[in-house]
Amino acid sequence: MNNTDSDNSREWAAQAYALLKKRQEEQKQELQEQEEQKQELQEQEEQKQELIDINSKQNIAEPTKTNSETQLGEFDDNFTWSAMVLAAQGKKINQISIDEIDWLTKLRRGLEETRKGFVTELLDKLGDDPLTPESLDDLETLLIRADVGIDSTDKVISSLRTKLNEEVVGGEAGIKFLKKELKLIIDKPIKNSGVDLLVPKKGKLNVWLLVGVNGVGKTTTLGKLAYLSSKSNYKTLIAAADTFRAAAVEQLKVWGERSNVDVISNQSKNADPAAVVFDAINSAKKRNVDLLLVDTAGRLQTKNNLMDELAKIKKIIDKKVPDAIVESLLVLDASQGQNGLKQAKSFAKSANLSGAIITKLDGTSRGGVSLAVSEEVNLPIRFIGAGEGIKDLRPFNSYEFVEALLADK
Ligand SMILES: Nc1nc2c(ncn2[C@@H]2O[C@H](COP(=O)(O)OP(=O)(O)O)[C@@H](O)[C@H]2O)c(=O)[nH]1
Ligand SMILES: [Mg+2]
């Protein structure tokens, strides 16, 4: 990027910041007025015992509501970078939201560890000099170390080598080329699937099964998906089909309350997960649900049991709603690096997966594993998670991911 471009982007970012700031002030004002009105009402009704009960319930639910309003941060390097990434995708100043800026900031910060061991070192090594065969060797080591995987690394390095044979490639052009190559790798399974962005299809029942080993973040991810989905006006329902962990149902109910989504469960000991799904489908049909999110168990006595259980759940769905659109999404914890890749390969063999969700991208140095999953397991990445909060999950955007991975500061 030359200086003029950079100045223009800063100017754009500053205007976007001013606009968001103004919008936030207006919202605050509105909220305050509502609050005053509510208080007046409360004072009038304080005498009535039943109403006090309702009010105290509302008081419990309220903090999550106010907390979930994202606040505009400082006009700093994070804001400018995020605004620039949005601008580069053709967003107009009045189309961007604090949530988007907040997410990109989180993503960039989350990938910091991956980036440190990789880009920072690479840029240090490259400097402003043209790429050499030796710098390609360094890059190869760095890519492998960032868990990008052997296949993806080979692909990128050989493309770069071909390019180097044809022309002189400067440091900055090298990074640009690298971004393009990495994006191609991640985009391939997405293109192959024929679906750029996974959203529930209206007018049908969409069933999304979240599968994966214990602790990778299935239940948390499901909670965040329920929030995204209901916020986007899809009628959403949750099936608590992890009947092996006693606490799983309670955990889901908390998420359900936060996003105002009902949870179908069966509290009895050793309840059959397929039976929970059976009940949930009945409910979903009755209520005209758009999206049924199914939480599944991650650990059974053996891996075969786990796969059998998933097969049984799928069979129930096929039988009861043959025209439902079923997505089996594998949840992977980025911090597990190559181990996550192994899980993906093993699940892909037996569980008929249609996509992946990468979690815990915050604070790991192994974010590169997303590339290995795309290249070696051919799974489209559908969502990524970078934090434990309800808004810390977003539909996957390969441009933003690669920009955050290779951000130069
Ligand atoms: N930092 C971070 N923690 C996460 C993320 N997703 C899930 N977790 C945490 O990982 C732990 C296990 O999550 P859980 O949803 O119970 O995993 P499950 O066993 O696959 O259902 C919990 O402590 C979550 O808060 C994420 O994106 N970032
Ligand atoms: Mg769970």
**What does the pLDDT read at residue 5?**
64
Report the residue among 210, 214, 218, 220 best suited for mutation to probe ligand 1: largest number of ligand atoms under 8 A from its CB: 220
Number of helices (H), then strands (E), in the chain: 16, 8
Task: Calculate Rg over the CA atoms of the chain.
Answer: 24
Which residue has a Cα nearest atom 5 of ligand 1? 360
Alpha helix ranges (H) inside 195-337: 218-231, 246-259, 273-286, 303-320
Task: Kindly give the distance from the C-alpha atom of residue 300 to the centroid of ligand 2, in angstroms, as a whole number.
Answer: 13
The bound ligand whose nearest atom lies closest to the alpha carbon of 387 is 1
Sign of the C-alpha dihedral computed for residues 159, 161, 164 and 165 taken in this order: negative
From residue 59, alpha-carbon distances to 52, 62, 215 in Å are 10, 5, 32
pLDDT digits (tens, 9 = 90+) for 61-71: 333 344 457 78
pLDDT digits (tens, 9 = 90+) for 262-302: 999 997 777 899 999 999 999 999 999 999 999 999 876 67
Q: Is the CB of 149 under 6 A from ligand 1?
A: no
Give the span between the Cα atoms of 396 and 405, in whole angstroms: 13
Report the run of H or E that residue 393 belongs to, with start and end. strand 393-395
**What does the pLDDT read at residue 201?**
94
Report the run of H or E that residue 263 belongs to, with start and end. strand 262-264
- pTM for the whole thing? 0.86
CA atoms within 13 A on the CB side of 197: 4
Task: Kindly give the distance from the C-alpha atom of residue 340 to the centroid of ligand 1, in angstroms, as a whole number.
Answer: 14
**What does the pLDDT read at residue 65?**
40
Nearest C-alpha neighbor of 94 from the set 6, 10, 18: 18
